[in-house]
């Protein structure tokens, strides 16, 4: 029997699309009391204030003065809502345009810092990135990918490698910033400033470092340094080393 005439065997499960807010038609809105955009903005605000554990359709609806059923007209479930809020905050990213190949490194570094800044503004993002399997279909992330691909091509990477170069930078930024965002979330729950938090940990740290002279000397040298500036410098060091590698790759042709 020709392939196009084959029938599904009895009892075999029917193929179904991957569930995602990006794979189903958006409901037409005719002057609704509540719009999808309003829901997304309110959800981002709630996540920024209370974190991912506090997010629920019921609580979000209550905060907006609406029943949860009103939200379900626009968002099928919490997973779809997470897809939407992730794409929403990706819209905050800035990717520089370049007109000459020599400016690619500064532009990629700036893009990496913009991504880090976004994650630190919205620390909950780090905990949900693994849940948004079709995030690449979101309009903001698609625009971001297009701009970064254009940047990598302008740098001199060939079509097949430009995407890999872009992903190398993004992977470093997400990896480094995820742990930083988790640390800042823990800090926020402590109710202390970062300097106060680190000072409170000092006795336990010193006890543990007594038999580790190299680590002890390293920590002593950093004592008193502004912690936010130190985190920024640590991040930028790693980012610059990734860019070093890309620069070497370009030089080899």
- Where helices occur in the chain by DSSP H, the ranges are 36-50, 57-63, 68-71, 78-90, 104-121, 125-128, 139-155, 159-190, 194-209, 213-222, 227-251
Instruction: Please give the model's pTM, rounded to 2 decimal places.
Output: 0.79
118-171 pLDDT tens trace: 999 999 888 887 666 566 778 998 898 888 888 899 899 998 899 999 999 989
Show the domains of the chain with their CATH numbers.
Answer: 21-90 (1.10.10.60), 101-191+223-251 (1.10.357.10)
Can you tell me whether residue 95 is helix, strand or coil? Answer: coil
31-46 pLDDT tens trace: 456 888 999 999 999 9
Mean pLDDT of 49-70: 89
- With cut-offs at 50, 70 and 90, classify the pLDDT of residue 5: very low
Mean pLDDT of 83-87: 92
CA-CA distance, 150 to 159, in Å (whole number)?
A: 10
Answer for the pair 196, 134: CB distance below 8 angstroms, yes or no: no
Q: What is the pLDDT of residue 220?
A: 63
Average pLDDT, the chain: 83
Res 253 pLDDT > 80: no
More confident residue, 24 or 108: 108
Exposed / middle / buried, residue 202 (Cβ in 10 Å: 0-12, 13-18, 19+)? exposed
Query: Could you tell me which residues come within 8 angstroms of residue 68 by beta carbon, excluding any fewer than 6 positions away?
Result: 57, 58, 60, 61
CA-CA distance, 211 to 213, in Å (whole number)?
A: 6
Q: What's the token pair of residue 121?
A: 């503004």
Mean pLDDT of 242-248: 96
CA-CA distance, 232 to 5, in Å (whole number)?
A: 61
Q: What is the pLDDT of residue 133?
A: 58
Query: Could you tell me which residues come within 8 angstroms of residue 173 by beta carbon, excluding any fewer than 6 positions away?
Result: 112, 115, 116, 119, 239
Q: What is the pLDDT of residue 137?
A: 77
How distant, in Å, are the alpha carbons of 28, 167, 173, 250 from that of 160?
38, 12, 21, 14
Q: What is the pLDDT of residue 40?
A: 94
CA angle 62, 63, 69 (to 5 degrees): 40
Exposed / middle / buried, residue 174 (Cβ in 10 Å: 0-12, 13-18, 19+)? middle
Q: What is the pLDDT of residue 6?
A: 46
CA-CA distance, 164 to 153, in Å (whole number)?
A: 11
Res 27 pLDDT > 50: yes
Nearest to 125 by CA among 169, 57, 187, 174: 174
Q: What's the token pair of residue 218?
A: 């390293």
168-223 pLDDT tens trace: 998 999 999 988 988 888 888 888 888 887 777 777 777 776 777 776 666 666 66
């Amino acid at each position: 029997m020709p392939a196009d005439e084959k029938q599904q065997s009895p009892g075999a499960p029917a193929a179904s699309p991957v569930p995602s807010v990006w794979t189903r038609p958006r409901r037409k809105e005719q002057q609704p009391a509540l719009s999808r955009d309003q829901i997304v903005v309110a959800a981002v605000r709630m996540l920024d204030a209370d974190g991912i554990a506090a997010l629920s359709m019921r609580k979000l609806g209550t905060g907006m003065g609406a029943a949860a059923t009103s939200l379900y007209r626009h968002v099928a479930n919490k997973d779809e809502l997470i897809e939407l809020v992730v794409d929403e905050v990706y819209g905050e990213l800035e990717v520089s345009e370049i007109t000459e190949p020599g400016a690619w490194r500064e532009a990629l570094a700036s893009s990496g810092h913009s991504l880090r800044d976004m994650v630190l503004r919205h620390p909950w993002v780090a905990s949900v990135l693994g849940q948004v399997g079709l995030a690449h279909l979101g309009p903001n992330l698609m625009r971001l990918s297009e701009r970064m691909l254009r940047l990598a091509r302008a740098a001199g990477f060939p079509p097949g490698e430009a995407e890999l170069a872009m992903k190398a930078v993004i992977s470093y930024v997400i990896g480094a910033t995820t742990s930083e965002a988790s640390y800042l979330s823990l800090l926020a729950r402590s109710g202390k400033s970062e300097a106060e938090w680190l000072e409170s940990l000092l006795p336990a740290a010193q006890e543990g470092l007594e038999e580790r002279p190299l680590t002890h000397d390293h920590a002593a040298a950093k004592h008193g340094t502004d912690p936010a500036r130190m985190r920024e410098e640590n991040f930028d060091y790693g980012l610059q080393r990734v860019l070093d590698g890309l620069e070497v790759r370009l030089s080899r042709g």
